Amino acid sequence: MALQRTYSEAQRAEIREAYRTSKDSREKTRLLCLRLRIERAYGSKQIADIADCSEALVRKVISDYGREGIARILRGAQGGNHRNLSYAEEEALLVPFLAEAERGHILIVSDIHKAYEKAVGHPVPLSTVYRMLNRHNWRKVIE
């Protein structure tokens, strides 16, 4: 049998208020999981059925709240910019290739790809280089 944790009235109020004011559906689901555990003492299976999520998510939310508090629940998705280089670093990487293009030479993407991998220090998919070129408004010109 699992050990039941007791929650203070301040914690209950904090979770109720966060649930009431939340506009993000995923955040609201996490907060609902907490509310059902804290206010109704439901088990993970019951909460998962009511909140329409997995039992694993319920257990993770409860665990995260116990370890890190409400801030962890309200943090949201952990996406964002995962680029290897900043925009300025990408520009600097492209400078020698731009000079070649201005002299009328044909640019070979595999050369840019090798330079990119050397700059970041690990292999990257070719699509990463094409996205970088697109960000810098480079395009394929056929004459």
- Give the pLDDT band (50/70/90) at residue 78: low
- Direct distance between the N- and C-terminal alpha carbons of the chain, in angstroms, rounded to an integer: 74
Q: Are the C-beta atoms of residues 58 and 33 closer than 8 Å to each other?
A: yes
- Inform me whether the pLDDT recorded for 15 exceeds 90: yes
How far apart CA 131 and CA 133 sit, in angstroms, is 5
Mean predicted confidence (pLDDT) in 91-115: 91
Residue type (1 letter), 70: I
How far apart CA 2 and CA 5 sit, in angstroms, is 9
Mean pLDDT of the chain: 88
Q: Which residues contact 94 (CB under 8 A, 6 or more apart)?
A: 112, 133, 136, 138
Mean predicted confidence (pLDDT) in 9-28: 92
- Inform me whether the pLDDT recorded for 79 exceeds 70: no
DSSP for 1-59, please give it.
Answer: -PPPPP--HHHHHHHHHHHHH---HHHHHHHHHHHHHHHH---HHHHHHHHTS-HHHHH
Q: What is the pTM of this model?
A: 0.53
